[in-house]
Structure 1
Amino acid sequence: MPRTTALVTDSTASLPAELVASRDITVVPLQVVIGATVHDEGVEGGATPEIVAEALREWAPVSTSRPGPAVFSEVFERLAADGAEEILAIHLSGDMSGTFESAQLAAREARVPVTVVDSRQVGIGTGFAVLAAADALDGGCTTEEAARVARDRAAATTSLFYVDTLEYLRRGGRIGAAAALLGGALSVKPLLRISDGRIDSFEKVRTSSRALARLADLAVEAAGEQQVDVAVAHLANPDRAADLTARLTERLGDNLSGREIDCGQLGAVLGAHVGPGMVAVCVAPVPD
């Protein structure tokens, strides 16, 4: 039986196209601006992680742009015209992007009720929350109940990453200049996490190898005794991402119960802010 509540997210949720199609999720793209050229994320011919990584290496001007309220209004109108009686929109942290705000503004004018959720996460951390909401809606939950499931899963999710340099985060305004300067001066590899919707630097290690080992330890700690979904992402660092995936597959066997750890490139929009060399891991408890 088709859902009466349409489910919407944005391209930073890092959900594969085939999964989006099979779960009936509508994805609104963010944009990457390279020089004077605007590229949509997650569409054919649009921005890719490879294009972004190359532009960053060449120090080309790279920035990102949120979808405006008018874009969301068009999406909400189309979904309503297609028969949606309600809409649930789940997006990346409002402290990291104006996407959530755009969706809120459009929701006020929509002709059907729209519930907008700030996941307080980024990347697949948001994606896991969206999938939990899809499961809830498919299981007969109301829009309000599904929104609560999404918020709860996002709040329980641990997102950790390291970067080769803090300079890209500084350029994008995601960390302060003093923090970036300190990291560069000490030649350290910062370990970062998403904490209540913001990037928080909480450990520093001396080498990439040590950073990888510490990410594995922290992911195992986050999983504890729970059943979890795990994803590893990288930007232009496939070998270290594969190494981390292998370590976690071995160490989290009981927590995964046969589920595979997804390992892939970080999306273009998020990649524009962290730079080449980044490796991330996301641990999301499986909802009851």
Structure 2
Amino acid sequence: MKIRVITDSAADLPQPCRPEITVLPMAVTFGEEQFLDGVDLAHRQFYEKLIEGDALPTTSQINPTQFEEAFRRAVDEGEDVVAVVLSSKLSGTCQSARIAAEEFPGRVFVVDSENATIGQQILVRRALDLLDQGLDAAAIAGELEREKKDIRLVALLDTLEYLKRGGRISPSVALVGGLLSVKPVIAVEHGEVVMLGKARGSKNGSNLLVQEIRKTNGVDFDRPYLLGYTGLEDSLLQKYIADSAALWAEHTNALPIGTIGGTIGTHVGPGAVAVAFFQRSEP
């Protein structure tokens, strides 16, 4: 039986994807203009509009009908489906997928990634690894449910401004943070975004990011890992890579890098850097 992996554009998968993957786009709205993430709104275009605009854009979840149509196309073509979707605690997209999957018992398996952007993406990439190993759809979904607990996503933000604009912190806190060059470090834990700490200046922020990674069981380099950034250029990410060279030097010559799109970029703004990886399993 052939297998199709379906995800949403919050996973920020680069195009073109492997032929076994279908990406359903989230809608991003700037004022009266609506775009499909990754279809008619590239990541660079998103940040150009975000930086130039006065109001934050909004994003819309994928509805059950869109998932049902995608599931039906796959099943009609003789494929079983593994759907890896944005955390249910961050969006209603997962619930939409589950509702649609009820029409295809035994053929469609929905996995709540409990993550977002590059954290969700490495789970999609892990699904492809398991597909290549010959596992069937049910076994892939079961393994993803087990392994997703090993994923760690940590990020260093460049500014508090977008958290303020989104109403997640007060203007006074954002003002003080800006004056002090405070760089917040956040993570996705149990499907939700949490604040891990704050550092004064990007150098201290990079150090804090490295410290958070060292608190884990270590990066499992046999499973997917990825670095990402928001904005129009990656200079802050390159600085972080230089500052954290000891984490990677003995394991790889080239780090995979991707861009983070509108779903998360709306809330963190440009200039953020993120690392997503599977930590080594407990012995």
TM-score, normalization by structure 1: 0.85
Distance change (3 Å), C-alpha of 1:156 and 1:112: closer
Provide the rounded CA distance (Å) in 1 between the counterparts of 2:219 and 2:156.
25
1:235 is aligned, of 230, 238, 243, to 230
| Structure-2 residue corresponding to 1:12 | 10
- 2-side partners of 1:169 and 1:149: how far apart? 35
* Aligned partners of 1:47 and 1:268 also within 8 Å: no
Aligned runs of 1:152-191 on 2, under 5 Å?
A: 152-172=146-166, 176-178=168-170, 181-187=172-178, 188-191=182-185
Q: 1:168 to 1:225 in 2, by over 3 A?
A: closer
**2:70 corresponds to which residue?**
75
Unmatched 5+ stretches in structure 1: none
Task: Say which of 18, 29, 32 aligns to 1:21.
Answer: 18
Q: How far is 1:92 from its partner? A: 1.4
- Looking at structure 1, the residues matched to 280 and 2 of structure 2 have their Cα atoms a distance apart, in angstroms, of 25
Deviates more, 1:219-228 or 1:263-272: 219-228
Where in structure 2 are the equivalents of 1:189-208 lying within 5 Å?
Answer: 189-208=183-202
Shift of 1:209: 2.4
Letter paired with 1:30: M
Change in 2 beyond 3 A, CA 1:221/1:261: farther
Please report how far the alpha carbon of residue 161 of structure 1 lies from its aligned counterpart in structure 2 after TM superposition. Answer: 1.0
Number of residue-to-residue matches in the alignment: 275
Q: Which has the higher helix share?
A: 1
- 1:14 positional shift: 2.0
TM superposition shift of 1:37: 1.1
Q: Deviations over 1:148-178 (max 9, x none)?
A: 22223321111111223334235446xx445
Residue identity matched to 1:195: E
Please give the root-mean-square deviation of Cα atoms over the aligned residues, in Å.
2.5
Give me the whole-angstrom Cα distance separating, in 1, the residues matched to 2:66 and 2:204. Answer: 43
- Structure 2: how far apart are the matches of 1:50 and 1:226? 31
Segments ≥4 residues shifted beyond 6 Å: none
Give unmatched runs, 5+ long, in structure 2.
Answer: none
What letter matches 2:147 in structure 1?
Answer: R
User: C-alpha separation between the residues in 2 aligned to 1:154 and 1:184?
Assistant: 37
User: For residue 272 of structure 1, what is the aligned residue in structure 2?
Assistant: 266
1:141 counterpart SS class: coil
